[in-house]
Structure 1
C-alpha cells in the first residue's frame, strides 16, 4: 500500500480522477463536487451578511472566518474567509439567493459565483 496527495483544482480534474476508479458515471457526478476544495476571501462585507455566511457554511459542514465585531455588530464591515468544497459553495449560493436584497447578499452571491466559476470547468 502507498498513498498520494492529490491536487484537484477543478471539477474536470475531480471527475477524471474518480473515473480512474472505474465507478459508475452517476457516482462520479455525485462525488466530484466534493473533491474540489476552495478558499475565497471577501472584502468589506456587512457584518450581518458575514454572520449569515458563517452560519450557512457551518450548517453545510464548511467554515467561514469573520472579524470579531460581527457578533455584536460593532463594526461597519468585515473581511470574510470562506472555506469549503465546491458542493458546499453551490449550496451556499442557493441559500444566499433566497435572502437576496438583505445586507448586500446580492453582491456576495456575484462575488462568490465569480470566484468559483473557474472550479466548474
Structure 2
C-alpha cells in the first residue's frame, strides 16, 4: 500500500541520507540535496530600493521575499524582508546580488553566515554509565506525567 508522509530535512547530511535511503544514485546527491532544505531568513531595515530588487531576484530564481506593503510605493525608506528559499536558490541569488546596486552586495556575507549557522548542534549528555547524544535523529520520544494528581492513592 502506498503511504504518504511529510519529510522534514534539517541539514544537508539528513538530505543526503534521505536520498540514499530511497536508492538515489550518489552522483545526484550534490544536485538534489541543496534543493531539499528550505530556509527562512529575516533581514531588518533594508533600503526599500534594495528590497524591491531583492524580491525580484528571489522570484526570478523560484524563491520568495516578503516585504512590507509600502515597499512597492517607496513611501518609507526601509523595510524588513523575509527570504524564503532552498539552499540552491540562495546560492544563485547571492551570486546575482554582487552585481546589484543599493547596498545589496553588502548583504551577501551576512546571509552566507546565517546559512552556515543552520547546522544542527550536536552534544552529549552523561547519564550514569551511558551517554545520550542530542541533536541528531530522534530515536525515542515520549511524555512523562509526574504531577501529584497522576499517582494512585491506593
TM-score strictly above 0.5: yes
Conservation of the 8 A alpha-carbon contact between 2:99 and 2:105: no
Residue of structure 2 equivalent to 1:110: 109
Q: Secondary structure at the match of 1:65?
A: strand
Residue of structure 2 equivalent to 1:10: 11
- CA shift at 1:2, angstroms? 1.4
Residue of structure 2 equivalent to 1:72: 73
Conservation of the 8 A alpha-carbon contact between 2:94 and 2:108: yes
- CA shift at 1:64, angstroms? 0.5
Structure with higher Rg: it is 2
Q: Secondary structure at the match of 1:81?
A: strand
Higher helix share: 1
Q: Matched residue pairs, number?
A: 119
Gapped runs of 5+ residues in structure 1? Answer: none
Q: Secondary structure at the match of 1:95?
A: helix
> In the TM superposition, what are the counterparts of 1:84-99 in structure 2 within 5 Å?
84-99=85-100
Q: Secondary structure at the match of 1:71?
A: helix
Gapped runs of 5+ residues in structure 2? Answer: 121-154
> In the TM superposition, what are the counterparts of 1:20-59 in structure 2 within 5 Å?
20-59=21-60
Q: Secondary structure at the match of 1:23?
A: coil
Q: Take 1:13 and 1:118, find their aligned partners in 2: how far apart are those partners?
A: 16
- CA shift at 1:19, angstroms? 1.1
Which ranges of 4 or more aligned residues in structure 1 deviate by more than 6 Å? none
Q: Take 2:56 and 2:3, find their aligned partners in 1: how far apart are those partners?
A: 38
Conservation of the 8 A alpha-carbon contact between 1:62 and 1:83: yes
- CA shift at 1:72, angstroms? 2.3
CA offsets 1:42-61 (integer angstroms, 9 cap, x no match) = 00000011001100111111
